[in-house]
Amino acid sequence: MTPDQRELLMTGLGNGTIVPYLGPSVLSDVKNVQTGDPIPATSDQLILAMNDGRPMAPKLMYEFPRAAMNVELKRGRTTVTRFLNRTYGDTAYTRGAVHDWLQSIRPKYVIDINRDTQLQDSYTDQPHNLIVGIARIGGTPFRYKLYTWSGTAYSEVDALDMSLPLLFKPMGTPRPEGVYIASDADYVDYITELMGGFAIPPELKEYRMGKRYLLMGLRLNRDTERMVMADIIYGAGEPSGWILLPEPNAKERRFCKKVGLEIIEEDVFDFIGATETA
């Protein structure tokens, strides 16, 4: 990365014209406080954690949503929700370097496809909006819940306060309530409504127009994550942004070219000037 490119990205992140988009690898330095084990963030880590450390059948190890669907069919949807609540809501973890760095910048709008609470922790000292993805919920055509943080608690609201920071957790969070996009069925419903325009609040649809994005900690090998990302950044500027992607493969290069993402072959920890600890 050239100094001019770095300056461009840092300036854009600071003034809100560039939006951080966080993937699983931003949590790769985060550990369980008691055991020292890594936080389950990647697809493989989540599957193993959900199955008590044991691998599942190869066809289920392909992707977490597929494995979660199998568990849901056998033991019910609440089993998956309890696992995610226990993993991200009831377990204490060390603080991640990427989130410390983001906290120092305080972007106006952040997209985080992880299900942990570190992004929310970064904004607890100020009021903010929280947008949480939902799926397969009756009684509403929309696929999101909206909350406002007062400084002490979240309250569910009907509209965003656009004067406040926007934290978008499309795949869910345990706080203020455990709601997640996890299984194949969840993703089918959510992506369908995302494409139809029912998974993004109207205020955010307007706000995001012309924004560019910096994808961090995300590989683009899986169709599921690629479809979610492409629809969430709909209306992006030209080019649509950048991705920090060490050693991209041919499939990732083709996709990035198609959606207008410039590849920076650098790790997120190099970009923020931190050292990832194994």
In the chain, the number of structural domains is 1
- The DSSP-derived string for 203-254 is HHHHHTTT-EEEEES-----HHHHHHHHHHTTT--SS-EEEE-SS--HHHHH
Per-residue pLDDT of the chain (278 residues; tens, 9 = 90+): 888 899 999 999 999 999 999 999 999 999 999 999 999 999 999 999 999 999 999 999 999 999 999 999 999 999 999 999 999 999 999 999 999 999 999 999 999 999 999 999 999 999 999 999 999 998 888 999 999 999 999 999 999 999 999 999 999 999 999 999 999 999 999 999 999 999 999 999 999 999 999 999 999 999 999 999 999 999 999 899 999 999 999 999 999 999 999 999 999 999 999 765 44
Chain-centroid distance, C-alpha 207: 19
pLDDT at 276: 53
pLDDT at 42: 97
Asked if residue 278 is part of any domain, the answer here is no
Asked if residue 277 is part of any domain, the answer here is no
pLDDT at 81: 98
Nearest in space to 25 (alpha carbons), one of 266, 256, 228: 266
pLDDT at 278: 43
Q: Cα(118)–Cα(112) distance, rounded to whole angstroms?
A: 10
Domain that holds residue 59: 3-272
Asked if residue 147 is part of any domain, the answer here is yes
Asked if residue 110 is part of any domain, the answer here is yes
Q: Cα(119)–Cα(262) distance, rounded to whole angstroms?
A: 25
Asked if residue 121 is part of any domain, the answer here is yes
pLDDT at 275: 60
Asked if residue 74 is part of any domain, the answer here is yes
This prediction's pTM: 0.96
pLDDT at 46: 98
